[in-house]
Structure 1
Protein backbone atom coordinates (compact mmCIF):
# COMPACT_ATOMS: atom_id res chain seq x y z
CA UNK A 1 0.00 0.00 0.00
CA UNK A 2 1.21 3.45 -0.91
CA UNK A 3 0.01 6.77 0.48
CA UNK A 4 0.42 9.48 -2.14
CA UNK A 5 -0.49 13.16 -2.07
CA UNK A 6 -0.47 14.73 -5.53
CA UNK A 7 -0.37 18.52 -5.23
CA UNK A 8 -1.20 20.53 -8.36
CA UNK A 9 0.45 23.95 -8.11
CA UNK A 10 0.71 24.77 -11.83
CA UNK A 11 -1.41 27.70 -12.96
CA UNK A 12 -3.33 28.05 -16.20
CA UNK A 13 -1.08 30.51 -18.02
CA UNK A 14 1.15 28.40 -20.25
CA UNK A 15 1.49 25.22 -22.25
CA UNK A 16 4.03 23.95 -19.70
CA UNK A 17 1.46 24.52 -16.92
CA UNK A 18 -0.99 22.35 -18.85
CA UNK A 19 1.69 19.68 -19.16
CA UNK A 20 2.30 19.73 -15.41
CA UNK A 21 -1.43 19.46 -14.75
CA UNK A 22 -1.85 16.50 -17.10
CA UNK A 23 1.17 14.72 -15.61
CA UNK A 24 -0.27 15.26 -12.13
CA UNK A 25 -3.69 13.96 -13.13
CA UNK A 26 -2.14 10.93 -14.85
CA UNK A 27 -0.15 10.15 -11.71
CA UNK A 28 -3.27 10.58 -9.59
CA UNK A 29 -5.22 8.22 -11.84
CA UNK A 30 -2.49 5.60 -11.55
CA UNK A 31 -2.73 5.68 -7.75
CA UNK A 32 -6.55 5.81 -7.81
CA UNK A 33 -6.72 2.72 -10.01
CA UNK A 34 -4.71 0.72 -7.47
CA UNK A 35 -7.25 -0.04 -4.76
CA UNK A 36 -4.50 -0.73 -2.22
CA UNK A 37 -3.18 2.83 -2.53
CA UNK A 38 -4.48 5.87 -0.67
CA UNK A 39 -4.57 9.06 -2.73
CA UNK A 40 -4.97 12.70 -1.80
CA UNK A 41 -5.27 15.05 -4.81
CA UNK A 42 -4.91 18.68 -3.80
CA UNK A 43 -5.24 21.73 -6.05
CA UNK A 44 -3.21 24.43 -4.31
CA UNK A 45 -2.06 27.94 -5.15
CA UNK A 46 -2.62 28.83 -8.80
CA UNK A 47 -3.56 25.18 -9.36
CA UNK A 48 -7.02 25.95 -7.94
CA UNK A 49 -7.75 27.80 -11.21
CA UNK A 50 -7.87 24.46 -13.05
CA UNK A 51 -11.03 23.28 -11.33
CA UNK A 52 -13.54 25.45 -13.24
CA UNK A 53 -11.68 24.79 -16.49
CA UNK A 54 -11.66 21.03 -15.99
CA UNK A 55 -15.32 20.99 -14.98
CA UNK A 56 -16.13 22.15 -18.55
CA UNK A 57 -17.15 19.01 -20.45
CA UNK A 58 -15.51 20.41 -23.60
CA UNK A 59 -12.07 20.63 -21.99
CA UNK A 60 -9.59 18.17 -23.52
CA UNK A 61 -8.78 16.72 -20.09
CA UNK A 62 -12.25 16.77 -18.56
CA UNK A 63 -12.53 12.96 -18.64
CA UNK A 64 -9.10 12.50 -17.05
CA UNK A 65 -10.08 14.97 -14.32
CA UNK A 66 -13.42 13.21 -13.77
CA UNK A 67 -11.58 9.92 -13.31
CA UNK A 68 -9.97 11.32 -10.13
CA UNK A 69 -12.25 14.20 -9.14
CA UNK A 70 -13.78 12.20 -6.27
CA UNK A 71 -10.32 12.35 -4.67
CA UNK A 72 -9.89 16.10 -5.28
CA UNK A 73 -9.64 18.84 -2.70
CA UNK A 74 -8.68 22.50 -3.02
CA UNK A 75 -6.90 24.93 -0.78
CA UNK A 76 -9.59 27.07 0.80
CA UNK A 77 -7.45 30.20 1.00
CA UNK A 78 -6.06 29.90 -2.52
CA UNK A 79 -9.45 29.25 -4.10
CA UNK A 80 -10.50 32.64 -2.75
CA UNK A 81 -7.22 34.36 -3.56
CA UNK A 82 -7.36 33.16 -7.18
CA UNK A 83 -11.04 34.04 -7.59
CA UNK A 84 -12.41 30.53 -8.08
CA UNK A 85 -14.05 29.93 -4.71
CA UNK A 86 -17.61 29.86 -6.14
CA UNK A 87 -16.59 27.55 -9.00
CA UNK A 88 -14.85 25.18 -6.58
CA UNK A 89 -17.95 25.09 -4.38
CA UNK A 90 -20.25 24.62 -7.40
CA UNK A 91 -18.09 21.69 -8.50
CA UNK A 92 -18.52 20.06 -5.10
CA UNK A 93 -14.78 19.98 -4.51
CA UNK A 94 -13.94 19.84 -0.82
CA UNK A 95 -11.81 22.70 0.47
CA UNK A 96 -9.08 22.14 3.03
CA UNK A 97 -7.94 24.72 5.53
CA UNK A 98 -6.19 22.86 8.34
CA UNK A 99 -3.05 25.05 8.27
CA UNK A 100 -4.23 28.65 8.57
CA UNK A 101 -6.48 28.32 5.53
CA UNK A 102 -4.15 26.02 3.59
CA UNK A 103 -3.73 22.24 3.41
CA UNK A 104 -1.35 20.84 6.00
CA UNK A 105 1.54 19.23 4.16
CA UNK A 106 3.10 18.39 7.51
CA UNK A 107 0.06 16.33 8.48
CA UNK A 108 0.31 14.38 5.26
CA UNK A 109 4.00 13.70 5.87
CA UNK A 110 3.19 12.69 9.44
CA UNK A 111 0.63 10.23 8.03
CA UNK A 112 3.35 8.69 5.81
CA UNK A 113 2.19 10.23 2.52
CA UNK A 114 4.67 10.73 -0.28
CA UNK A 115 4.23 14.33 -1.45
CA UNK A 116 4.47 14.75 -5.23
CA UNK A 117 4.09 18.24 -6.67
CA UNK A 118 3.24 19.30 -10.20
Structure 2
Protein backbone atom coordinates (compact mmCIF):
# COMPACT_ATOMS: atom_id res chain seq x y z
CA UNK A 1 0.00 0.00 0.00
CA UNK A 2 1.34 3.38 -1.02
CA UNK A 3 0.22 6.83 0.05
CA UNK A 4 1.02 9.78 -2.20
CA UNK A 5 0.15 13.45 -2.23
CA UNK A 6 0.54 14.87 -5.72
CA UNK A 7 0.97 18.65 -5.45
CA UNK A 8 0.50 20.73 -8.61
CA UNK A 9 2.36 24.04 -8.34
CA UNK A 10 2.78 24.70 -12.09
CA UNK A 11 0.67 27.47 -13.56
CA UNK A 12 -1.14 27.39 -16.87
CA UNK A 13 1.41 29.37 -18.87
CA UNK A 14 3.60 27.48 -21.33
CA UNK A 15 3.97 24.04 -22.82
CA UNK A 16 6.24 22.81 -20.02
CA UNK A 17 3.57 23.52 -17.40
CA UNK A 18 0.98 21.65 -19.45
CA UNK A 19 3.39 18.72 -19.38
CA UNK A 20 3.70 19.01 -15.62
CA UNK A 21 -0.05 18.95 -15.01
CA UNK A 22 -0.47 16.03 -17.42
CA UNK A 23 2.19 14.07 -15.54
CA UNK A 24 0.60 14.96 -12.20
CA UNK A 25 -2.81 13.75 -13.39
CA UNK A 26 -1.36 10.58 -14.89
CA UNK A 27 0.55 9.83 -11.68
CA UNK A 28 -2.56 10.43 -9.56
CA UNK A 29 -4.53 8.12 -11.84
CA UNK A 30 -1.95 5.35 -11.48
CA UNK A 31 -2.22 5.52 -7.68
CA UNK A 32 -6.03 5.75 -7.80
CA UNK A 33 -6.26 2.62 -9.95
CA UNK A 34 -4.23 0.49 -7.52
CA UNK A 35 -6.26 -1.12 -4.76
CA UNK A 36 -4.93 -0.23 -1.35
CA UNK A 37 -3.12 2.91 -2.53
CA UNK A 38 -4.21 6.32 -1.28
CA UNK A 39 -3.75 9.48 -3.30
CA UNK A 40 -4.43 13.14 -2.72
CA UNK A 41 -4.20 15.58 -5.64
CA UNK A 42 -3.58 19.11 -4.36
CA UNK A 43 -3.64 22.17 -6.60
CA UNK A 44 -1.58 24.81 -4.81
CA UNK A 45 -0.10 28.19 -5.72
CA UNK A 46 -0.37 28.91 -9.44
CA UNK A 47 -1.55 25.32 -9.85
CA UNK A 48 -5.02 26.42 -8.72
CA UNK A 49 -5.40 28.06 -12.15
CA UNK A 50 -5.68 24.59 -13.68
CA UNK A 51 -9.02 23.78 -12.11
CA UNK A 52 -11.19 25.98 -14.38
CA UNK A 53 -9.10 24.88 -17.36
CA UNK A 54 -9.53 21.18 -16.58
CA UNK A 55 -13.24 21.56 -15.79
CA UNK A 56 -13.73 22.66 -19.42
CA UNK A 57 -15.03 19.60 -21.31
CA UNK A 58 -13.12 20.77 -24.39
CA UNK A 59 -9.73 20.66 -22.67
CA UNK A 60 -7.39 17.91 -23.86
CA UNK A 61 -6.84 16.71 -20.28
CA UNK A 62 -10.47 16.95 -19.12
CA UNK A 63 -11.10 13.20 -19.28
CA UNK A 64 -7.89 12.41 -17.38
CA UNK A 65 -8.80 15.04 -14.78
CA UNK A 66 -12.28 13.53 -14.41
CA UNK A 67 -10.67 10.16 -13.60
CA UNK A 68 -8.97 11.65 -10.50
CA UNK A 69 -11.22 14.59 -9.67
CA UNK A 70 -12.65 12.90 -6.57
CA UNK A 71 -9.14 12.94 -5.08
CA UNK A 72 -8.60 16.64 -5.87
CA UNK A 73 -8.45 19.64 -3.56
CA UNK A 74 -7.28 23.23 -3.96
CA UNK A 75 -5.56 25.74 -1.74
CA UNK A 76 -8.18 28.14 -0.44
CA UNK A 77 -5.84 31.13 -0.18
CA UNK A 78 -4.13 30.58 -3.53
CA UNK A 79 -7.44 30.15 -5.35
CA UNK A 80 -8.21 33.74 -4.37
CA UNK A 81 -4.69 35.03 -4.91
CA UNK A 82 -4.62 33.64 -8.45
CA UNK A 83 -8.12 34.88 -9.34
CA UNK A 84 -9.89 31.52 -9.64
CA UNK A 85 -11.77 31.43 -6.32
CA UNK A 86 -15.22 31.58 -7.95
CA UNK A 87 -14.33 28.99 -10.61
CA UNK A 88 -12.97 26.61 -7.96
CA UNK A 89 -16.10 27.09 -5.85
CA UNK A 90 -18.31 26.49 -8.90
CA UNK A 91 -16.38 23.30 -9.71
CA UNK A 92 -17.16 21.79 -6.33
CA UNK A 93 -13.51 20.92 -5.72
CA UNK A 94 -12.80 20.97 -1.99
CA UNK A 95 -10.66 23.86 -0.78
CA UNK A 96 -8.10 23.38 1.97
CA UNK A 97 -7.16 26.01 4.53
CA UNK A 98 -5.56 23.83 7.21
CA UNK A 99 -2.55 26.05 7.88
CA UNK A 100 -2.93 29.82 7.59
CA UNK A 101 -5.27 29.49 4.61
CA UNK A 102 -3.17 26.85 2.84
CA UNK A 103 -3.14 23.04 2.73
CA UNK A 104 -1.02 21.51 5.47
CA UNK A 105 1.81 19.66 3.78
CA UNK A 106 3.10 18.82 7.25
CA UNK A 107 -0.13 16.96 8.03
CA UNK A 108 0.27 14.90 4.88
CA UNK A 109 3.84 14.04 5.85
CA UNK A 110 2.69 13.18 9.40
CA UNK A 111 0.09 10.85 7.84
CA UNK A 112 2.90 9.05 5.94
CA UNK A 113 2.12 10.46 2.49
CA UNK A 114 5.01 10.75 0.05
CA UNK A 115 4.92 14.28 -1.36
CA UNK A 116 5.40 14.52 -5.14
CA UNK A 117 5.44 17.98 -6.69
CA UNK A 118 4.81 19.00 -10.28
TM-score using structure 2 length? 0.99
The C-alpha deviation readout for 1:49-102, integer Å capped at 9, x for no partner, is 000000000000000000000110000000000010110011000000001000
**Separation in 2, partners of 1:69, 1:86:** 18
SS of residue in 1 equivalent to 2:42: strand
**Separation in 2, partners of 1:21, 1:41:** 11
Which ranges in structure 2 are unaligned for 5 or more consecutive residues? none
Q: CA deviation at 1:35?
A: 2.1
**Separation in 2, partners of 1:101, 1:49:** 17
**Separation in 2, partners of 1:95, 1:77:** 9
CA-based RMSD of the aligned residues comes to 0.4
- Match of 1:9? 9
Q: How many residues align?
A: 118
SS of residue in 1 equivalent to 2:36: coil
Moved over 4 A (4+): none
- Match of 2:48? 48
1:38-77 equivalences in 2 (<5 Å): 38-77=38-77
Which ranges in structure 1 are unaligned for 5 or more consecutive residues? none
Q: CA deviation at 1:15?
A: 0.3
TM-score using structure 1 length? 0.99
